[in-house]
């Protein structure tokens, strides 16, 4: 019999099996069925560990006892067994997540460490940005305000707006930008506008001293507005991704009411300036 592939053992362990469980299940798949005695001889796993692993595998539905004398087990086919294993693993992960989330809420009451002042800003980077965007959108109950380049509109493509008030500003110089926006938000009610990137620079220039217009315009033209995003949900939380290079993208998040209102006013005024 061929040696058990280590990568396969590792894959099954990532799906929640112990190493001994993974080895036994793989061996049974290769053998189709086997007496416990032969499994012990082939794998070199202790007798107690083998029986305990078989018990756990049986609970997971990955093996079936087909004979008691001698005790013989058969594996569930991998195409079915892996689906069962994945579903069970996801359930356990969800249960663990909910438990940890509940326990985190009790930490403030433990008084085991001096508490720092409440954080005004939270910083997100990498994959956590995507999770935060989805979390804010899915948690919204009254309104969503999004001012961004087209790449972030995909987060709302399959979103059920639940009668939310939608204000969407898309920054784009593409000729068919309006058609794309209408396609994404077809049958959805709200305020949808396209703003050229040049208008972004123009809006920022309004606060620049007249004698420094050229210098500031050169600096602002270096911004990568296609990476920028401002997401505000329920007028109570904001996530801002500045117009920086893709390699250094990070997002700041706050529930500070004053900042939220200021940013919403600033971004909301850009289309009006562009339409004048």
Query: How far apart (Å, rounded) are the C-alpha atoms in residues 251 and 265?
Result: 20
Residues 6+ apart with CB under 8 A from 206: 273
**β-sheet bridge partners, residue 118:** none
36-43 vs 19-31: helix crossing angle, rounded to 10: 120
Q: Which domains does the chain have, with CATH numbers?
A: 6-79 (1.10.10.10), 122-275 (3.30.870.10)
Q: What pTM does this model have?
A: 0.59
**What is the SS3 string spanning 140-205?**
CCCEEEEEECHHHHHHHCCCCCCCCEEEEEEECCCCCHHHHHHHHCCCCCCEEEEECHHHHHHHHH
Q: What is the pLDDT along the chain (276 residues), one digit of tens a residue?
A: 457 889 999 999 999 999 999 999 999 999 888 999 999 999 999 999 999 999 999 998 899 999 999 999 999 999 899 999 999 888 888 889 888 888 777 765 555 556 555 567 788 877 788 889 988 998 899 999 998 888 888 888 777 766 788 888 888 877 777 887 877 777 777 888 888 766 665 555 555 566 665 666 665 566 676 788 889 999 999 999 887 766 667 888 988 888 888 887 777 665 544 443
**Encoded tokens for 100:** 């940890």
**Encoded tokens for 196:** 């050229």
* Burial class of residue 228, CB neighbours in 10 A (0-12, 13-18, 19+): buried
The length of the chain in residues reads 276
């Amino acid at each position: 019999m061929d040696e058990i592939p280590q990568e396969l053992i590792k894959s099954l362990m990532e799906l929640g099996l112990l190493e001994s469980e993974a080895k036994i299940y793989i061996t049974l798949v290769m053998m189709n069925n086997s007496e416990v005695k032969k499994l012990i001889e082939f794998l070199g796993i202790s007798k107690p560990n083998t029986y305990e692993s078989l018990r756990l595998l049986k609970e997971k539905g990955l093996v079936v006892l087909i004979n008691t004398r001698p005790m013989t087990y058969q594996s569930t086919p991998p195409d079915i067994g892996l689906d069962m294993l994945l579903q069970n693993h996801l359930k356990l992960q969800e249960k663990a997540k909910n438990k940890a989330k509940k326990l985190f809420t009790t930490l403030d009451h433990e008084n085991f460490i001096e508490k720092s002042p409440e954080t005004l800003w939270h910083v997100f980077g990498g994959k956590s940005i995507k999770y935060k965007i989805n979390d804010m959108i899915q948690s919204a109950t009254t309104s969503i305000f999004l001012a961004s380049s087209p790449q972030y509109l995909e987060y709302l493509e399959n979103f059920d707006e639940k009668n939310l008030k939608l204000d969407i500003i898309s920054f784009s110089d593409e000729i068919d930008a309006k058609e794309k926006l209408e396609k994404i938000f077809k049958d959805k009610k709200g305020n949808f506008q396209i703003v050229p990137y040049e208008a972004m620079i123009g809006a920022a220039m309004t606060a620049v001293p007249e004698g420094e217009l050229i210098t500031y315009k050169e600096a602002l033209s270096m911004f990568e507005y296609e990476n920028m995003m401002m997401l505000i949900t329920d007028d109570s939380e904001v996530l801002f991704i500045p117009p920086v290079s893709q390699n250094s993208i990070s997002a700041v998040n706050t529930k500070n009411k004053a900042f939220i209102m200021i940013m919403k006013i600033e971004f909301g005024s850009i289309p009006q300036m562009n339409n004048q």
